[in-house]
Chains A and B, each alone.
Chain A
Amino acid sequence: MLLAILSDIHANREAFEAVLAAVEGAGADRLVLLGDIVGYGADPEWCAERAMALAAGGAVVLRGNHDEAVGNPAVSMNPTATFALEWTRRQLGSQTRAFLAALPFEAREGDCLFVHADASAPPAWNYVLDASDAGRHLAACAARVSFCGHVHKPALYSTAPGGRVTHFRPVAATPVPLLPQRRWLAVMGSVGQPRDGDPAAAYALYDTQSAELRFQRAAYDVERAAGKIRAAGLPASLADRLLRGR
């Protein structure tokens, strides 16, 4: 089965559409959305509705901190994110708000675990930024292969029994065999707000049969997505960073 894994869409309709088209072209059998469907971008309602439709069609859709913050004012965020969140709340209908509020923190399928942030405490929204964070995640779960997002920069960690955790910065479109005798944590890049210097939307394809993982990029109309953020009166920095991919 070919899984398509998307994370951190952040209300970027153009990026989301581009990735969905690419994933369909690749022949993916199943979609997994690792959360943060909304926040930052100009199309929260459209993206949430689309995620809802995908979930109805069998996709796995998880909760991210921005999705939670829509209905939970206790989630703390920086001023820009808070400003965007207040704007986002006004855009969302009652149906999509209810959908976001009910999303699960994690999902398991076969030997895979899916979660938005570090699995040791999903509601704490800890970032997996380095090998020691990845070690904490791997110690807290038993899955052979796990996937998370939240960081917006792709990375791949692995460990063998008794060994240290190794870090790898993935190269787009190269299949990496997730060797069966090791455990792996793949940190997804972001669909709607990449921060690794490449403005193209990030996602990944995982072939459960061959255990090969491919980090992918999809070009999208960044100018248009950035233009909509400015037109909506959202902070200009959110538009600028899309253009830079930082």
Chain B
Amino acid sequence: MVKARLKPGDLIDGFLIEAIAHNGGMARIWAVSRPDIDFPILMKVPVIGEGDDPAAIVGFEMEQMILPRLSGPHVPRFVANGDFATLPYIVMERLPGTSLYPLLERLPLPPEEVAALGAKIAVALDSLHRQHVVHLDLKPSNVMFRESGEAVLIDYGLARHIHLPDLMDEQFRLPYGTAPYMAPEQVLGTRSDFRSDLFALGVLLYFFATGERPFGDPQRLKGLKRRLWRDPLPPRARNAAIPPALQEVILRCLEVNPAWRYPSAAQLALDLQDLSAVKLTARAEKMKRDPLGMVLRRRFNPVPIETVKPQTAEAQLANAPIVAVAIDLAASTPDLADAMHRTVARIIENTPDARIACINVLKINRIAIDTSLDEEGRNKHVLRLVELRTWSTGLAVPGGGITFHVLEAVSPADAILDYARENYVDHIVMGARAESAMRSMLGSVSGEVAAHAPCTVTVVRNRPRPGGAPDTG
């Protein structure tokens, strides 16, 4: 390997070295440019010397392997990889502004700001997880933001791509990560569970909401392992301004057993975007750490860690879809409502961690400025919610939970589509409007939704009985 000492003005594979942007322990980062690239770019060059930590080299190899395979607004755009035989480097997009790190100066942040930040990071994690990558080093200094507002996750040196060989695994004995943020299963050496990133986000949220790290900053393996049995002080005991719903979300992220956390980053994002819809459990009301007796029992009889292998990580995620069920009870027959119920029950049976959102569109008049606030409007709204709840009776949702929403809109199809886009919906289930004059006059809502949806759409329709009258209603 050529040990080139780069300096401003050097030209490497067409990239002009301009100025040093960051001098880190593992890598040096240069601002660079190339005439054909019209966005700001950086060159990351690993610091490799005699006797250096071999993990630093492997981490750089992993980043060279993973970054070119990622796309979308939540990762820095990849430009080029330099050959290890000559000069190893990665050139990527330079993001504006700074990471979340400087924010540590002014913690705690107001709870609503914490929830909003958390929601953006969860959306970025969802995008990463859907590209088969576990970040495994989520922390404030690795989160940046685009001018358009999206969170961008940087530094893939500890990341794992489920479909690519893990060079970090097996090579080193100590678990790699950043001590305050590492999930318990990561401490034990698992590097393939998407939910490890949700734990790290839980630590970040706890830190930002209280100003304290939930597990401190242990420097040894023994201290790292403490989080397997010792629960943190509940956030509300540190900061009374934190609402129970935010504590519920944070403590669910910090569950020792990955299976007790959110099953997906998208479901976590959904809760952080609307804390009012969070289902509260004992976590929300907890004001003290667990009593010593319980902690001791846990120490010698540990909490199960139901983690996943690389081969099953994606199935775990696929088991947790967000399903929007659009029902129009006024316009459907009892048969159709039953068929919808059966369809949703089957989805829950097959994907037990599904989150079900039952939605109903309350059509509002384009001309009237606002009728929803008058008493009649409010009554209609409440009545629809009651109808949705009644319809859902008997649907047992063990994992993700079930929520009810009445959307007010001029166009039902647009309302359903907007809801699906804004809430990371994986699957829309809706009933077909029956054969009728209405459908030929207005067109089919389900047809429009199916044509434009960003996800799978199931249109439930009852087959007419042979010889019977067609299903009208």
Contact = CB atoms under 8 A, between A and B. Distances in A.
Asked whether A and B interact, the reply is: yes
A181 B165 contact: no
A171 B83 CA distance: 25
Contacts of B165: 156, 158, 166, 168, 176
A72 to B, nearest CB: 37
A142 interface: no
B395 interface: no
Contacts of B163: 171, 174, 176
B310 interface: yes
Contacts of A182: 61, 167
Interface string B44-88: 000000000010011001001100000000000000000111000
B393 interface: no
A166 B166 CA distance: 8
A174 B310 CA distance: 14
Contacts of B167: 158, 160, 166, 182
Interface string A74-89: 0000000000000000
Interface in A188-204: none
User: What is the interface residue range for chain A against chain B?
Assistant: 10 to 19
Interface string A147-190: 00000000010101011101111010010110111100000000
A20 interface: no
A18 interface: no
B169 interface: yes
User: What is the interface residue range for chain B against chain A?
Assistant: 20 to 34
B311 interface: yes
B451 to A, nearest CB: 29
A28 interface: no
A131 interface: yes
Candidate in B54, B65, B170 with the most chain A CB atoms within 10 angstroms: B170
Interface string A18-39: 0000000000000000000000
Nearest to A169: B311
Contacts of B171: 160, 163-164, 166
Interface string B132-173: 000000000000000000000000000000111111011100
A180 B164 CA distance: 15
A166 B191 CA distance: 14
Given A158-B165, A168-B165, A163 B83 contact: no
Contacts of B58: 160, 163
A179 B166 contact: no
Interface in B164-191: 164-167, 169-171
Contacts of B310: 169
A174 B65 CA distance: 12
A181 B162 contact: no
Contacts of A166: 165-167, 169-171
Contacts of A158: 165, 167
A186 to B, nearest CB: 11
Interface in B290-333: 310-311
Contact of A167 (B65, B84, B164, B170): B170
Contacts of A180: 83-85
Nearest to A167: B170
A174 B166 CA distance: 14
A174 B164 contact: yes
A97 B163 CA distance: 41
Given A160-B58, A171-B162, A174-B163, A179 B169 contact: no
Contacts of B61: 179, 181-182
Nearest to A157: B165
Nearest to B83: A180
Nearest to A131: B170
Nearest to A174: B163
Contacts of B170: 131, 164, 166-167
Closest 3 CB pairs of A and B: A168-B165, A181-B84, A174-B163
Interface of B: 54, 57-58, 61, 64-65, 83-85, 162-167, 169-171, 310-311
Given A131-B170, A166-B166, A171-B162, 19 more contacts: A158-B165, A160-B57, A160-B58, A163-B54, A163-B58, A163-B171, A164-B171, A166-B165, A166-B167, A166-B170, A169-B310, A174-B163, A174-B164, A176-B163, A176-B164, A177-B64, A177-B164, A179-B65, A182-B167
29 contacts: A156-B165, A158-B165, A160-B54, A160-B58, A160-B167, A160-B171, A162-B54, A164-B170, A164-B171, A166-B165, A166-B166, A166-B167, A166-B171, A167-B170, A168-B164, A168-B165, A168-B166, A174-B163, A174-B164, A176-B164, A176-B165, A177-B64, A177-B164, A179-B64, A179-B65, A179-B84, A180-B84, A181-B85, A182-B167
